[in-house]
Amino acid sequence: MSQLGALHIGVDVGTSSIKFLVMNESLETLDECSVPYESDSPAAGWNEIDPRVWSEIVLGHLTEVCDRFRGAEIAGIGVTGQMHTTVFLDAQGTPVRPAILWTDRRADDLVPQLASRLSEHSARNARIVASGCMLASIAWLRRNEPEVFEQVAWVMTPKDYVVWSLTGEVTTDHSDASTSCMYDWEGEDWSGPVLEDIDLPARLLPPIRSSAAYAGTLSSDTQRRIGAESAIPVVAGAGDNVASALACGAFSSDSPVLSIGTSAVVIVPSMAGNLKGIGKNVRSSIVPGDSAMICQGSVGAGGKSLSWFVDGILGASSYSEIENSVQLDGLGVGQVLFFPHLNGEKIVYRDPGLRGAFYGLGLDTTRADMYQGVQEGVGYALRALYDRIRNADEPPFITLVGGGSKSRLWPMMLANIFNRPIRVFENSHDAVRGAALLSMIAAGVTVRVDEDYSLVEPEQELVTRYRCRYEEYSQFGDSLFEFLQGMDART
C-alpha cells in the first residue's frame, strides 16, 4: 500500500454518531464510515452519555483502519466533535459521571444568574451562556452533585476526551475554549476574572492550543491495542463548525456554510477576525497567529425535526419516497408553515423554552405537504439567523454540508430562500474531512479546496415566491412567540 502515500485519519464525535475518514495527501478519500450511538435521557430535558462509549467506538474503528491499511504510512489523526458538551474526569482520567450534552436543559434556571454575573466581566461571555454550555453544566454539577464535583480533576469537550484517550495528553483548542463562557478574548486564554468570580480553579481546565498543533502521539497502550505500527501523532483538534468551515475552504472567501445534521447551523467566517454583536463568535486559531474566526447560530432541532417527523410521527421507513412525492411546482407556495424550534432558540427569540408548531393544516393536507413544510421551515429559520450574523458583503455562494446536502429539495429550497447559489460538494465535506485536513496542516501539507462540486442557482420565480413566504413565516413566528410569552405570563 505504499503507493497510497501518507494517510491522515479524521474523527468526528457527533451528537448521534462518530464519523471516520481516511484520506491521502492528494485529498482522495480511501475509507469513510459512521458508527451510530445513543445517548440517555434519565429525566425530562436531560441528555447525557458515558464518554467511554466514544472512546470504545474510536479505538474499535481505529483498530480496523490500522489492519486495513497495514504497511501504509499513517501520518496523523485529526479530531473534531460536537461543541459545548462537557466531560468530567477524575485525576486518573476516569469519567466521574456521564457527560452532559449540548442539547441538555437541566441548567435552564441557572442561566439568568450566570449571565448577570458574567456581564460584569465580559459581555461576550454573558451573551452566549445557555443551558448545555460548559459553564452552565459545571455550575449545575457543583450545585446538585457536590460530592461528584469534588472528584473532578479535568473538564473538557468530547473531542478533547478522545484526544486524551488516544494520547494521555490533556488539551483543548481555542474554538472550544472560546464558546465555554470562560474565555479571555483579548488574552486568548482562560479568563482569570471569570474563574475567580465563579470560584472555579483554573487547574480544572485544559491548556489551550491551536487546532493544528500536535497534542501528542498515541500512548503505548493505545498503539498496542489498535495495532498501530508507530506512535501516530494526534492534533489538538477543533470544534465541528470550525472543522466544517475548513473542509469547505470557507475561510479563503469568507463564504458562509449551512450545516444540516442533527441541528442546523449557520457558519459565517471572517479571516479578519471581525467580532459580531449577535450570534456566537468562535475563535478558530487553526495555526498560531491565525486571527480568523466564525460567527455561528443554530436551529437546535434543525435536521432532527425531519427525522422526528418522518420516524417519530409518520413511522415511515423511507425519506426518499416522501421527498420524491413533493411536487416541485409547489415549492414556495405550500399550504403548511412549520416553526422548527422544537427545543428552544438562542439568538432570534432567545427563549430556551420555545416550542414548534404547524400552521395551515386542513383535511386535504398530505404527508408530502407537511414534509415540505418541515424542510422549508428549517430553511426560513436558517435565513433568519443568517440575516442577523451575515457579513456586509454578499458572498459568491453559500456552501451546504451535512445530511441536508444529500437531499433533492433542500439545496433548491435554500438557493431561493437565500437568493444565493448553493454549493454542494460531490463528496463529503463535513467536519470529519476538516479533522483530517487539520492533521495534514500539522504535518506541513498545503491543503486546497476540492473543486468537485455543483452550484444550485436561484430561479427568479422561486425567489419571489420564497420572499413572500419567508415574510409570512416571520410574521407567524413572531405572533406565535408573543402568544407563548403571554401564556407563560399567565401560568
List pLDDT tens digits, range 163-174. Answer: 999 999 999 999
* Mean pLDDT of the region 73-102: 97
Amino acid 487: pLDDT? 77
* Mean pLDDT of the region 138-154: 97
Amino acid 350: pLDDT? 86
Amino acid 462: pLDDT? 97
Burial of 185 (0-12, 13-18, 19+ CB in 10 A): middle
Asked whether residue 194 carries a pLDDT value surpassing 60, the answer given is yes
> Could you tell me the pTM of the whole model?
0.89
Asked whether residue 428 carries a pLDDT value surpassing 80, the answer given is no
Percentage of the residues of the chain whose pLDDT score is greater than 90: 82
Asked whether residue 2 carries a pLDDT value surpassing 60, the answer given is no
Residue pLDDT, tens place only, 355-373: 999 999 999 999 999 999 9
Amino acid 309: pLDDT? 95
* Mean pLDDT of the region 34-45: 95
41-45, 251-255, 347-351, 483-487, range with greatest mean pLDDT: 41-45
* Mean pLDDT of the region 374-395: 95
Amino acid 344: pLDDT? 87
Name the band, by pLDDT with cuts 50, 70 and 90, for residue 485.
confident
Q: Which residues pair with 89 in a beta bridge?
A: 95, 154
* Mean pLDDT of the region 65-85: 96
Amino acid 123: pLDDT? 86
Amino acid 78: pLDDT? 98
Retrieve residue 170's grid coordinates: 490533556
* Mean pLDDT of the region 155-162: 98
Amino acid 271: pLDDT? 86
Name the band, by pLDDT with cuts 50, 70 and 90, for residue 397.
very high
Report whether 33 contacts 61 (CB < 8 A): yes
Amino acid 4: pLDDT? 75
Name the band, by pLDDT with cuts 50, 70 and 90, for residue 484.
confident
Asked whether residue 439 carries a pLDDT value surpassing 60, the answer given is yes
Asked whether residue 1 carries a pLDDT value surpassing 70, the answer given is no
Percentage of the residues of the chain whose pLDDT score is greater than 70: 99
65-69, 246-250, 452-456, range with greatest mean pLDDT: 65-69
pLDDT, mean over the chain = 94
